Every structure is written in structure tokens, then in C-alpha cells.
Amino acid sequence: MFSVRSAYRLGIESALSALSTGQSSSAPNGDRQVWNIIWKANVPQKLRIFAWKAVTNSLDVRTNLNRRITSVVPVSVTCGCGKEDIHHALVSCTLDVALRHGMRDWWNLPAESAFRDIGDEWFLDLLINVAAVDRSRIIFLLWRVWHHRNNIVHGDGKASVAASVPYLKNYFETFISCTRPVLDVKGKSAFLQVPQPDPEGPLISKWAAPAEHSVKANVDAGWDAKTGRGGLGVVIRDHHGRVILSEWKHIPYCSSVEEAEILACLEGMKHLSNVPCDKGIVESDCLRVAYLHLKSGPCQ
């Protein structure tokens, strides 16, 4: 039985074995570090395991089942037409296209041509050739597509694209905002909180709730130096941790990651001004932005 645990073990062992023997992975560019594309992707661990299984052709799609059990017809159960290999199951089946198009209203995903089937390495090739934030989104998206497919094959078939679009959007934004370390700026009514990573502590720390009657906007931004394009995210929560508002926005052009972070802070402040509360906090992880802001004094 090929379980999640065995997939994980297999992944780790293969990566370690490639590193220790000096052999390259099967990646097109022969770079052993290529597996970090998956194991260091900014996504939950269960999604990394899913991506690993997809890249190594280890998902239980019909063509793979057919190799083991000849009575299994290798045709897609979802659409009934087309051989169900990994690419068909995750990218080209009707439902996949629908969800991908739905997410394009919110996410700046790569062009459709980037998702084409170029052979066994299509998924790895896709992940290698995009910015880190897009890589995370693609893994989130294909993981959800796989959930849909399994819901049809093994579940009640009621998972809908209309419900999956906001689900994915919120899951991604919440995950991104929760994987930022947090600093409490004691004794100051600083509007902007700047997390300072503890060198001894874990890389990822938990989100800290604001005080009662206060709300907190976690903001984040990504920027691609090659294209000048970026994205910003805002998640506003109350002191119970309930999400009041979440937003992810494309930045058509900006000149630096700091500029993108500033735009994210401004977006957070804009939204906070419409939320009734005693105190609104914008929390960012960009030190330089915070420095500029604190130099000019606290603002409420």
C-alpha cells in the first residue's frame, strides 16, 4: 500500500540518496537541488507530499492503477473521455480547467501554455519556471483539483468549483499570513508591528491575536525582479482570530520588494480605516518598511 507516509519517506530517501551519491535527479537541468523546489515550497507539508507524489508519478490515477490492476480502465472517471494520467487528472480535465479559470480572477497564474503536457517532467518544469509565490499557488491549486477528482471517484461528488474558488483563496492567504513570525512592540503604540525572527527559534511561528477590541491586518507582498510584477495580500482578523476581510491583489509593476511591501501596508491601513475598532494594527515582515515608518513617528 502506497501511503502518504511511505511517499514522504521515499521522497526524503531519494533526495538524500541523490545528494550522498552525487547523482543528479531526473530533473531536466540535472540539478540535485531541484527537489527543494518541492520540499522548500511555502505550502503546508501535506501539499508538499501531494506535489512530490504528482512529480514522481505516484498518484493513484487510472493509468497508474491500470498498470497494477489490468481490469481498471485507464479512462478519466471525471469526464469519461481521455486517458487519466497525472496531467489529465490535474490540468486538462474539464473540472481542472474550470477551477484554474476561476482562480485566475484572483491569482496571477502563469499562462495556459505553461501548463501544457511536455512529457513526464511537465509538473517539475512548471514549478521550476515560476516565481516562488506562483509556485505555492500552483501547488495549492493542483492539490485542490486532486481533492475534487477524489471527491467524484471516492466521495459524494458534491465538491463544487464555485465553493473551491473562495476556499482556495482564503486558505492560501491565511496560510501565507500565519507563516510569518510575530514581534510584540512593547510599550509603544506603534501602528506597525515588525516581526523579528528569533535566531534560535523555529522559522515559522504562530500568529498572535491582537488585544480585545483591536483588529490586526497581516500584510505581505511578493515581487518578481525579472518582470517587476508583484502581488500583495491583506488578512484582517479580530482578537478571536476570526477573519474579517481578506484580499490578494496583483501589482502590475513596482520597482522593489520594499515598494511592494509598502503598497501592502497601505492597502492594510486603507481597509483598517473601515473597520470599527479601538486600535488597528498593521503587521508586516519587511524591516525596512517598518524603519521608514517608525522614523516618521507612530500613526493611528
Binding stretches for Zn ion (CB under 5 A): 76, 78-79, 82, 93
Instruction: Say if residues 128 and 41 touch (Cβ distance below 8 Å).
Output: no
Cα–Cα distance for residue pair 287/267, rounded to 1 Å: 17
Q: At residue 257, what is the residue type?
A: V
Q: Which is nearer to Zn ion, 74 or 82 (CB)?
A: 82
Q: Which is nearer to Zn ion, 78 or 174 (CB)?
A: 78
Q: Which is nearer to Zn ion, 93 or 290 (CB)?
A: 93
The span from the first CA to the last CA of the chain, in angstroms, equals 58
In angstroms, what is the minimal distance from the CB of 83 to Zn ion?
A: 9
Instruction: Say if residues 247 and 271 touch (Cβ distance below 8 Å).
Output: yes
Please enumerate, as own/partner, the contacts of 130-135 that have beta carbons within 8 Å and a separation of 24 or more.
131/222, 131/224, 132/41, 132/42, 132/222, 133/42, 133/222, 133/231, 134/108, 134/109, 134/110, 135/37, 135/41, 135/42
Instruction: Say if residues 65 and 72 touch (Cβ distance below 8 Å).
Output: yes
Q: Which is nearer to Zn ion, 61 or 217 (CB)?
A: 61
In angstroms, what is the minimal distance from the CB of 77 to Zn ion?
A: 8
Q: Which is nearer to Zn ion, 44 or 82 (CB)?
A: 82
How far CA 256 is from CA of 131, 132, 226, in Å, comes to 15, 16, 11
